[in-house]
């Protein structure tokens, strides 16, 4: 009689934990704007890198966003 | 991945001939080594060797989070390219260029980048691109106004 509550107690937490994990996963996928859960915080006015090959008069501009890994 | 394999062809056929202007932007998102690598490349850029260091890192790629792009390794690569290693180390250790890298990532996120490599041709996303031939076809279509 005393064993039943000990078995049921973990079960009681499974649903809340599953919901919490699902919410965390969703936040990491979509809430950061960067895709990796990393919040991009940059001082206002900060300019990005300037690595360009080719003529400014070229009819097409190809921009590549890349990760070295 | 374009930067690893197709860039030389792209540059030879389209950039050097004045048809395409190619812009590289950082979008680190696969862990801390991604950030180290991007910031290190910016440190190399400070010494005028961006493209050399960029090409070297892509040539060294072995996988995600395998230690290839940890700071000590990145400093070794700087030495291989005859950069001023003391200046490079100070730049990397103090994270002098972290906001430049993060500004690229901010801009990319605002433009809708969700994965890498993401390619924009005249502002339109054209990736994923399977290989250079597919990229070439998209460029030719754009040049023809299709």
Helix/strand/coil for B119? strand
Distance, in Å, from the CA atom of A5 to the CA atom of B56, rounded to the nearest integer, reads: 61
The whole-number pLDDT of residue A35 equals 53
Q: What is the CATH number of the domain that holds B27?
A: 3.40.30.10
The verdict on residue B79 lying in a domain is yes
Residue A52, in any domain of the structure: no
Supply the mean pLDDT for chain B. Answer: 93
What gap in Å lies between CA B26 and CA A41, rounded to an integer? 15
Higher pLDDT, A14 or B99: B99
B31 domain-assigned: yes
Do the domain assignments include residue A44? no
Report whether pLDDT(A2) > 80: no
Q: Do A64 and B114 touch (CB under 8 A)?
A: no
Choose between A11 and B11: higher pLDDT: B11
Q: Residue A57's closest chain B neighbor by CA? A: B18
Q: Residue B87: which domain range?
A: 2-104
Give strand ranges (E) for chain B: 20-26, 118-121, 124-125
Window A:15-44, CB contacts with B under 8 Å: 33-36, 38, 40-43
Within 8 A of B119 by CB-CB distance, chain A residues are 62-65
Residue with tokens 């039943």: A4
Task: Answer whether residue B58 is part of any domain.
Answer: yes
Q: Residue B4: its pLDDT value, please?
A: 55
Query: Is B76 inside any structural domain?
Result: yes
Instruction: Give the pLDDT score at B17.
Output: 97
How many domains is chain A built from? 1
Mean pLDDT rounded to a whole number for chain A: 72
CB contact under 8 A, A65 and B50: no
- Residue B118 resides in a domain: no
- Give the model's pLDDT for residue A7: 60
Per-residue pLDDT reduced to its tens digit, B54-101: 999 999 988 888 999 999 999 999 999 999 999 999 999 999 999 999
Dist. CA B1–CA B27, nearest whole Å: 14
Question: Could you read off the pLDDT of A36-53 as tens digits, one per residue?
Answer: 656 668 998 999 999 999
Q: Whole-angstrom Cα distance, residue B109 to residue B107?
A: 5
What is the value of pTM for the model shown?
0.79
- What are the DSSP calls for A30-45, one per residue? HSSSSSSS------TT
Give the CA angle between residues B103, B116, B121 to the nearest 5°. 80
Q: What is the mean pLDDT of residues B5-17?
A: 86
B27, B102, B120 member nearest A67 (Cβ): B27
- Tell whether B13 is covered by a domain: yes
The order of strands in the sheet holding B124-125 is: A51-53, B20-26, A60-66, B118-121, B124-125
**Residue B117 resides in a domain:** no
Q: Does A23 reside within a domain? A: yes
| Count of structural domains, chain B | 1
Average pLDDT for A9-30: 59
Please tell me which residue, A33 or B3, carries the higher pLDDT value.
Answer: B3
- Cβ neighbors of B120 (< 8 A, separation 6 or more) are A61, A62, A63, A65, B111, B126
Q: What is the distance, to the nearest Å, from the Cα of residue B116 to the centroid of all Cα atoms in its chain?
A: 10
Task: Count residue pairs from A and B with Cβ separation < 8 A.
Answer: 169
Alpha carbons A56 and B34: distance in angstroms, whole number:
29
Does A54 reside within a domain? Answer: no
Return the number of other C-beta atoms located less than 10 Å from residue B96's C-beta. 14
Sign of CA dihedral A69, B5, B8, B13: negative
In a domain, A2, yes or no: yes
- Give the Å distances, CA to CA, from B146 to B17, B86, B94, B138, B142: 20, 51, 48, 9, 6
**Contact criterion met (CB < 8 Å) for B34 and A67:** yes
pLDDT of A33: 42
Q: Which domain holds residue A22?
A: 1-36
A26 CA: distance to closest CA in chain B (Å)? 14
Does residue A9 surpass a pLDDT of 70?
no
Predicted local distance difference test score (pLDDT) of residue A39:
62
State mean pLDDT over B109-120. 93
The residue written with tokens 């005393």 in the block is A2
**In a domain? residue B145:** no
């Amino acid at each position: 009689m005393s064993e039943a509550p000990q078995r049921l107690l973990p079960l009681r937490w499974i649903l809340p934990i599953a919901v919490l994990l699902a919410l965390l996963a969703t936040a990491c996928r979509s809430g950061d704007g960067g895709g990796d859960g990393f919040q991009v915080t940059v001082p206002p006015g900060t300019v990005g890198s300037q690595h360009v090959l080719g003529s400014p008069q070229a009819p097409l501009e190809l921009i590549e966003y890349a990760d070295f890994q | 991945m374009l930067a690893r394999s197709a860039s030389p062809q792209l540059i030879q056929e389209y950039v050097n001939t004045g048809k395409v202007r190619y812009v590289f932007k950082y979008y680190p998102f696969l862990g801390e080594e991604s950030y180290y690598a991007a910031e290190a490349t910016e440190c190399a850029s400070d010494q005028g060797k961006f493209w050399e260091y960029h090409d070297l890192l892509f040539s060294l790629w072995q996988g995600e989070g395998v230690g290839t792009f940890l700071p000590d390794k990145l400093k070794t690569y700087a030495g291989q390219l005859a950069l001023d290693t003391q200046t490079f180390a100070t730049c990397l250790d103090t994270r002098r260029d972290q906001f430049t890298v993060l500004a690229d990532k901010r801009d990319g996120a605002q433009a809708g980048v969700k994965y890498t490599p993401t390619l924009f041709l005249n502002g339109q996303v054209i990736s994923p691109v399977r290989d250079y031939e597919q990229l070439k076809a998209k460029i030719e279509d754009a040049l023809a106004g299709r």
